[in-house]
């Protein structure tokens, strides 16, 4: 099962045979893996429900944490594409060279709508102690559902627009200006990004607004409005001075390693109901928590099998009891009606004659010829009478 979380089922089957000499079918590998994932997913959903109802105190975690979220598309059966959302959390610290970095990363991925994913990710944020952290930053792109995610878990988090995402938008504006006939220096993009990173967005937005007015284009206007709406999330000099990262490369890496590496192989098509069980197992191996999740899933599978056997035994017992009662009703003797019990007909017609008392066997009377004594006469007397 662990091999099947890293590679297709057929390859996992071959590798298992080469390593330990155990032969299993591809169908067995697939069934066992997905069943374990379903058991682990059921445990996660039950734990989220408990957390929402009881609202326990958060665990102790790192004082300075980062969260980032993004989505990756997965091909489903039937040609449909669906977005798998991934949340990455880590501890913000500095490396030996004094550079800001994020360590102790963990991922949480689900195929779900934004609201449902926000609620389900409570499992990971509670485990990492996000509520108890002294300071939190959210580095991600400007999607609206991401803002709702931050509002749900830490509304006071420092919101940072991913610098690489902002650089991509600036580059698209430059290309649109050139397509409209404008001429830009060869180092234009490098200079604008350097100013944005070290001086902030104020002068950059003025420059982009001037380009949009001189070379009007729907694409340029749309991207400029995007920047203007998120000006408060692009204060990169302030963020760097406070020791915050300004890039969300961790979640991009998580999408590649945790999702795409297993669910986006050549020719792969996934049933929607099989995506989340596989993602649970992928999170377990990527977070180095396989043993913990495996033991819990194994125990849950054993309990599920025990409950299923109990239900089947109860159903068989009820079915056998029903058949026995049916057979008894079919073969039981009919009970005669009591002689003194009035029939429905007699109750409805009061003039009906009373039923006669049944008689016993009739015997001959005392003077019946059969009871006379037998007289044997002589032969001569009989002849004389004739």
Main-chain dihedrals φ then ψ at residue 270, nearest 5 degrees: -110, 140
Burial (CB count within 10 angstroms: exposed 0-12, middle 13-18, buried 19+), residue 208: buried
CA distance 296 to 208: 55
Stretch (H or E) spanning 236: helix 236-241
pLDDT digits (tens, 9 = 90+) for 15-71: 999 999 999 999 999 999 999 999 999 999 999 999 999 888 877 888 999 999 999
pLDDT for the residue 347: 47
pLDDT digits (tens, 9 = 90+) for 161-184: 999 999 999 999 999 999 988 899
- Whether the pLDDT of residue 345 is over 70: the answer is no
Burial (CB count within 10 angstroms: exposed 0-12, middle 13-18, buried 19+), residue 132: middle
Contact 100, 28 (CB under 8 A): no
Tokens 């980062």 locate to 66
pLDDT digits (tens, 9 = 90+) for 272-320: 999 999 999 999 999 999 999 889 888 888 888 788 888 888 889 899 9
CA distance 125 to 166: 27
DSSP conformation class of 85: E
pLDDT-derived band at 334 (thresholds 50, 70, 90) equals low
Can you give the pTM of this predicted structure? 0.77
Per the model's pLDDT, the better-predicted residue between 336 and 152 turns out to be: 152
User: How far from 222 is each of 161, 217, 230, CA to CA, in Å?
Assistant: 17, 9, 13
pLDDT digits (tens, 9 = 90+) for 182-196: 899 999 999 999 999
Average pLDDT on 316-344 reads: 73
Tokens 């299923």 locate to 308
Tokens 């390593």 locate to 19
- Whether the pLDDT of residue 379 is over 90: the answer is no
Please give the structure tokens belonging to residue 125. 């944020």
Contact 34, 58 (CB under 8 A): no
Residue of 247, 265, 250, 274 lying closest to 107 (CA atoms): 250
Residue of 273, 275, 269 lying closest to 79 (CA atoms): 269
Percent of the chain residues topping a pLDDT of 90:
67
Main-chain dihedrals φ then ψ at residue 200, nearest 5 degrees: 100, 180
**Rounded (10°) CA dihedral 9, 10, 12, 15:** 180
Task: Report the chain's mean pLDDT, rounded to a whole number.
Answer: 87
Main-chain dihedrals φ then ψ at residue 100, nearest 5 degrees: -70, 135
Which residues fall within 8 angstroms of residue 351, CB to CB, at 6 or more apart? none
pLDDT digits (tens, 9 = 90+) for 217-266: 888 899 999 999 999 999 999 999 999 999 999 999 999 999 999 999 88
pLDDT digits (tens, 9 = 90+) for 84-143: 999 999 999 998 888 999 999 999 999 999 999 999 999 999 999 999 999 999 999 989
Alpha-carbon radius of gyration of the chain: 44
pLDDT for the residue 298: 86
- Whether the pLDDT of residue 340 is over 60: the answer is no
């Amino acid at each position: 099962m662990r091999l099947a979380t890293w590679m297709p089922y057929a390859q996992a089957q071959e590798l298992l045979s080469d390593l330990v000499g155990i032969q299993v079918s591809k169908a067995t590998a697939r069934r066992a893996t997905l069943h374990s994932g379903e058991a682990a997913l059921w445990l996660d959903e039950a734990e989220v429900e408990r957390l929402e109802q009881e609202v326990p105190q958060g665990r102790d975690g790192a004082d300075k944490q980062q969260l980032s979220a993004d989505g990756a598309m997965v091909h489903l059966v039937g040609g449909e594409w669906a977005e798998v959302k991934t949340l990455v959390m880590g501890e913000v610290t500095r490396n030996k060279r004094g550079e800001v970095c994020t360590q102790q990363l963990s991922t949480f991925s689900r195929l779900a709508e934004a609201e449902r994913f926000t609620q389900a990710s409570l499992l990971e944020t509670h485990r990492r102690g996000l509520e108890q952290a002294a300071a939190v930053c959210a580095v991600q792109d400007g999607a609206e559902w991401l803002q709702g995610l931050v509002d749900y878990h830490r509304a006071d988090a420092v919101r940072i627009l991913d610098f690489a995402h902002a650089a991509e938008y600036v580059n698209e504006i430059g290309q649109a200006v050139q397509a409209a006939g404008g001429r830009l220096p060869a180092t234009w993009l490098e200079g604008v990004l350097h100013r944005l990173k070290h001086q902030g967005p104020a002068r950059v937005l003025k420059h982009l607004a001037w380009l949009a007015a001189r070379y009007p284009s729907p694409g340029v206007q749309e991207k400029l409005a995007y920047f203007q709406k998120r000006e408060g999330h692009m204060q990169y000099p302030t963020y760097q001075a406070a020791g915050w990262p300004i890039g969300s490369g961790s979640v991009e890496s998580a999408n590649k390693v945790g999702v795409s590496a297993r669910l986006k192989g050549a020719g792969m098509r996934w049933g929607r109901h099989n995506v989340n069980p596989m993602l649970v197992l992928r999170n377990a191996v990527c977070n180095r928590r396989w043993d913990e999740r495996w033991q819990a899933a194994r125990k849950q599978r054993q309990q599920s099998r025990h409950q299923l056997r109990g239900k089947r035994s109860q159903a068989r017992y009820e079915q056998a009891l029903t058949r026995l009662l049916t057979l008894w009703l079919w073969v039981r003797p009919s009970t005669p009606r009591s002689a003194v019990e009035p029939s429905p007909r007699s109750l409805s017609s009061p003039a009906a004659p009373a039923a006669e008392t049944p008689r016993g066997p009739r015997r001959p009377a005392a003077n019946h010829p059969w009871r006379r004594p037998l007289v044997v006469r002589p032969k001569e007397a009989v002849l004389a009478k004739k």
